[in-house]
Each structure stands twice: as structure tokens, then as C-alpha cells.
Amino acid sequence: MKKTINVLAALTLPEGGEKRIREVSDQIKLTVAPVKKPGDIPPGTWKDVDVLYTWHILPEPGQAPNLKWVQFNSAGVDSRLTHPIFEQQALRVTTMSGIITGQIAEYVLMAILAFGQKLPNLLRNQQAHHWPESNEKLRDFMPIELRQSTVGIVGYGSIGRQVARLLRPFGATILAAKKDVIHPEDDGYTKEGMGDPHGEFFHRLYPIEALHSLLKESDFVVMALPLTDETHHILNEQAFEVTKDTAYVINVGRGGLIDEQALIQALITQQIAGAALDVFETEPLEKESPLWDMENVIISPHVSGISPHLPEETLDLFIENLNRYLADLPLYNLVDIDEGY
């Protein structure tokens, strides 16, 4: 007799989602509970759960003794891994890495093109109803052409790889930095036709320890690292000192990757040319932050990863992993709890 696998989806599933999960196997007993806090789930439900599909709802240690695998419905889980259950139970943890790559990479491309084609200057002139003289055009609108530019991608995971894919047709020189340079290929979840699964789209690959070498050469610096103790404030005062004063920084990773005060100072002193920031050390960004009023800064409220296709595509990955779980195959996007990603 096949063992029943109790799956708890502690979130709202897209239309038809329950049917799709149940169709994976007759072993699955699915409970859907889109609750706001863990205490809203009955103790009897927690007791039987084998697999948890969740944004942030987690049981306390001892509440779910049969729990074996947690699938988070997000790519970044650094803030959730501090939950005590991960200290007291040996659990497999997986993420949605590889799902939100397309829209984030397009955000990065938008920011690169906006700075390269002087969009902030154009918008300021439009708002002022100002048609510039010829000398102003040469001064304020000389483009930074991608075919003559170097883009440094700091963090060559699923997002960084999709950025590289989008940049290839523009002819940019692509530099990438990742922790493990011995294995340039991607063994995580990759949708067909996306990313750089074989590690072929960069011109040079750097270890993270050689970050400053990458910064010295980059016209655009894309931050796409996970946040760990090692990557916290990896862009700091010393890093900005070696970055080109004509370079632009784009952060779609985590706010804590950048020392925000050092960034503000680098922008004020023109150590760098500008920044596009979708993530911040404190969110929402404080109203009194000087970043709001800087002409060379693009601010967005942590929206680079939203998409109308996200619910269906994240469910696709969960079902793929659920099939692999039932077949006792390695799961996609397995997290190293000690490393934090």
C-alpha cells in the first residue's frame, strides 16, 4: 500500500491549482490553507504535514514532526532561514529560483538602457518644456552604447544568467562573478530558452574575491547576489573607490548587499555616475532618505520581480519538484541552510 503524502499549501493557489497538485499522484492528500499566521492552522493539520508549500507560514518546532520538505514560494529566503524550526529539524528546503528571472532581467535591461540613453535627462527636459540647444544635447544626451560597454554581473545565478542572455544581442562585453568558478554551469531550475544553463554567455568569469577587478572594468554593475554574512555590504566604501566614476550600479538582489551610506556618499561625490535601486536595507525606504531626490538615481519599490504569470509559473516548479520528491530524485533549488541560499 502506497504511503499517503500530506501536502499543506499555506497560500492561495491559482485557478485550477488544487486539481493540478492532486493529479500528480493518488498518494497526495492536499490541504489548502491561505492563512495570515501559523496559529490559524489547526494543530492536527500541522501534525500530519509531510510537505509544506508556503510564502512565510512555518510551524514552531515540534508542531510538524513529520515535515520533511519546505518549498518556499519565493527565490530569496535568507530572512526565513532564521526560523527555529530549521535549527531543530533536518528539513529539505527549496526555493522558486529560476521563476522570477525573466521580469527581473528585463528590469535590469530597462535600467541599463535608461541610463545609457539618458532617459532621466530627457524626462527632466520634458517636464520643464525645454528644447535644448546643440551644445546641451552633446553635453546631456551623449549615449553610452551597449555595444561599446562592459556590464559586470555580480552573482551569476538564475537572474544574472538571464541578464547575460538579454545583453548578448546588444554586443556588450559581459563579466560575471560567482562563488564557485570551477562550475560555471547552472544546476538549478531553468525554464527552456532562458538563462545560461551551460555557462556560455559571459566573456570572463571572476571569483567573488576578485570583485574589485570586475568593478574596475564595468560601465554597469548589476547586483544579483543572495544576501549572506559574506555578501552583506559587499559594495562598500572601498568597492566604490575602485569603481569607474562613469559607472552605474543596478541592485535587484538584496538591499543589504550595498552599504547605503557609502552609496549615498559615492553618488554625492560623483565616485559613480548613478544607481537604479529596487531593493533597500530598510523597506519601505525612509521618506527622509536623500536617495529620493537624487537626479542620478532611479528608485522602484521592490517591484522588479512581480509578474501576472508568477502564480502559474511558481506552481509549475512546485509540481515539478513534487514529482521529483515522489520519485526520490534530487529537488531543484535545494538550499544550503548554513550558506543561507
- pTM assigned to the model: 0.94
Which pLDDT does position 76 carry in this prediction? 86
* Pairing of β 150-154 and β 69-72: unpaired
User: 313 with 181, same domain?
Assistant: no
94 and 189 fall within a common domain: no
Taking only the tens of pLDDT, the chain with its 341 residues reads: 679 999 999 999 999 999 999 999 999 999 999 999 999 999 999 999 999 999 999 999 999 999 999 999 999 898 899 999 999 889 999 999 999 899 999 999 999 999 999 999 999 999 999 999 999 999 999 999 999 999 999 999 999 999 999 999 999 999 999 999 999 999 899 999 999 999 999 999 999 999 999 999 999 999 999 999 999 999 999 999 999 999 999 999 999 999 999 999 999 999 999 999 999 999 999 999 999 999 999 999 999 999 999 999 999 999 999 999 999 999 999 999 988 88
> If 0-12 CB within 10 Å is exposed, 13-18 middle and 19+ buried, where does residue 92 land?
middle
Q: Is residue 235 part of a domain?
A: yes
Q: How many domains does the chain have?
A: 2
Instruction: Mark whether 51 and 169 lie in a shared domain.
Output: no
Structural domain including 229 reads 101-299
DSSP type of residue 324? H
Domain annotation covers residue 339: no
Both 178 and 39 in one domain: the answer is no
Identify the three-state secondary structure at position 175.
Answer: strand
CATH number of the structural domain spanning residue 75 = 3.40.50.720
Judge if the upstream peptide bond of residue 61 is cis by omega within 30 degrees of 0: no
Helix (H) or strand (E) holding 248: strand 248-251
264 is a domain residue: yes
Chain mean position to CA 319: 21
The verdict on residue 338 lying in a domain is no
Asked whether residue 341 is assigned to any structural domain, the reply reads no
CA 313 to chain centre: 16
- Are both 135 and 240 inside the same structural domain? yes
Q: Is residue 335 part of a domain?
A: no
Same domain? For 78 and 183 the reply is no
Q: Is residue 30 domain-shared with residue 118, that is, in the same domain?
A: no
Secondary structure of 184-235 in the HEC alphabet?
CCCCCCCCCCCCCCCCCCCCEEEEHHHHHHHHHHCCEEEECCCCCCCCCCCE
Could you give the angle at the alpha carbon of 150 between the alpha carbons of 212 and 261, nearest 5°?
45
> Hey, what's the cell of 99?
521563476
What pLDDT does 132 receive? 96
Residue 336, in any domain of the structure? no
Same domain? For 84 and 172 the reply is no
Q: Are residues 84 and 106 in the same domain?
A: no
* Gap between the Cα atoms of 174 and 113, Å rounded: 15
Residue 334 lies in a domain: no
Task: Clarify whether residues 224 and 263 are in a common domain.
Answer: yes
Judge if 277 and 155 occupy the same domain.
Answer: yes
Same domain, 314 and 198: no
